[in-house]
């Protein structure tokens, strides 16, 4: 007889995070920055876990390469939302929820981060990621504001999607907290550890890995501690799946071993 209340296994959620987050990060760097570098007639000189160096790019090609990673994040978030609406089985539905939530938060977080600090892919002042632009302070303020609005929207949508999956009640509250905090903690720690292999130094760890993981997905705290809606509990159940845990560990180790130290192409 099927259980009436939602429950999730934290190990399986951790395995999903270790499996999906490296793939999502590689999509940002390789499908975004590296592929756009090639498409604009240049050659990537370095492929790292959290950065790509595009040799010879300047002007608009440099701006396109800089913006491409976040563009891929937005596309993946959209795909994640569409697929989440299509599937009904708990495990794939949670996987697509992770894709939507993480990529949506990271994309919006990039705009906020670059607007606030003038660092990262979207810095609009001279020397920034997409600069130089006139009136850089105005662009930074606008970028931060748009990023904040988008971040709040993604977080609220993630909470609403969670309510649809889990329903309400104490069991739903526990499952919601387990999902959100496991993804945040496991994903953040894994990102930092992988980034320590980079040859550039601590700046990549702080500006890319820490900013995109612990900073970019900080909205998961809002998801974790949002009050469940007054809905009946669902039968959403994810049990222990050792194969997913093993696959996640293997994926993260491969990500660290191959892209962590950086691949030099030039």
How many structural domains is the chain composed of? 1
User: pLDDT, tens digit, for every residue of 179-217?
Assistant: 999 999 999 999 999 999 988 888 888 877 888 889 999
pLDDT value at position 127?
Answer: 64
d(CA 186, CA 191): 9
> Residue 97: which domain range?
9-256
Sorted by sequence, the CB contacts under 8 Å of residue 15 that are 6+ apart come out as 241, 244, 245, 246, 247, 248, 249
In a domain, 249, yes or no: yes
Pairwise CA distance, residues 28 & 200, whole Å: 19
pTM: 0.94
Q: Confirm whether 172 is domain-assigned.
A: yes
Is 2 a member of any domain? Answer: no
Decide if pLDDT at 89 tops 60. yes
Q: Hey, what are 101's tokens? A: 């939530």
pLDDT mean across residues, the chain: 92
Is residue 21 situated within a structural domain?
yes
Does some domain include residue 125? yes
For residue 36, tell me if it sits in a domain: yes
Question: Residue 266: inside a domain, yes or no?
Answer: no
Residue 123 has pLDDT above 70, yes or no: yes
Condensed to tens digits (0 to 9), the pLDDT of residues 13-67 reads 999 999 999 999 999 999 999 999 999 999 999 999 998 999 877 778 888 998 9
**Residue 4: per-residue pLDDT:** 66
18 located within any domain: yes
């Amino acid at each position: 007889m099927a259980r009436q209340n939602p429950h999730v296994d934290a190990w399986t959620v951790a395995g999903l995070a270790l499996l999906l987050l490296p793939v999502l990060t590689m999509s940002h760097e390789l499908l975004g920055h590296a592929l756009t570098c090639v498409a604009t007639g240049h050659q990537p000189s370095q492929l790292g876990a959290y950065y790509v160096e595009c040799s010879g790019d300047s002007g608009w090609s440099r701006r396109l390469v800089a913006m491409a990673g976040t563009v891929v994040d937005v596309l993946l978030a959209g795909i994640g939302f569409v697929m989440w609406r299509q599937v009904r089985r708990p495990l794939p539905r949670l996987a697509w929820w992770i894709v939507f939530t993480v990529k949506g938060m990271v994309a919006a977080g990039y705009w906020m981060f670059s607007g606030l600090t003038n660092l990262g892919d979207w810095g609009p002042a001279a020397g920034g990621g997409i600069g130089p632009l006139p009136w850089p302070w105005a662009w930074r303020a606008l970028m931060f504001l748009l990023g904040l609005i988008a971040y709040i929207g993604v977080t609220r949508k993630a909470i609403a999607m969670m309510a649809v999956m889990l329903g309400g009640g104490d069991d739903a509250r526990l499952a919601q907290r387990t999902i959100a905090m496991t993804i945040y903690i496991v994903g953040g720690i894994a990102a930092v550890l992988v980034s320590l292999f980079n040859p550039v130094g601590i700046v990549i760890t702080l500006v890319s890995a820490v900013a995109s993981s612990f900073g970019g997905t900080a909205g998961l705290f809002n998801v974790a501690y949002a009050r469940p809606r007054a809905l009946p509990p669902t039968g959403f159940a994810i049990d222990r799946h050792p194969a997913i845990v093993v696959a996640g560990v293997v994926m993260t180790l491969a990500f660290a071993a191959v892209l962590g130290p950086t691949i030099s192409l030039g």
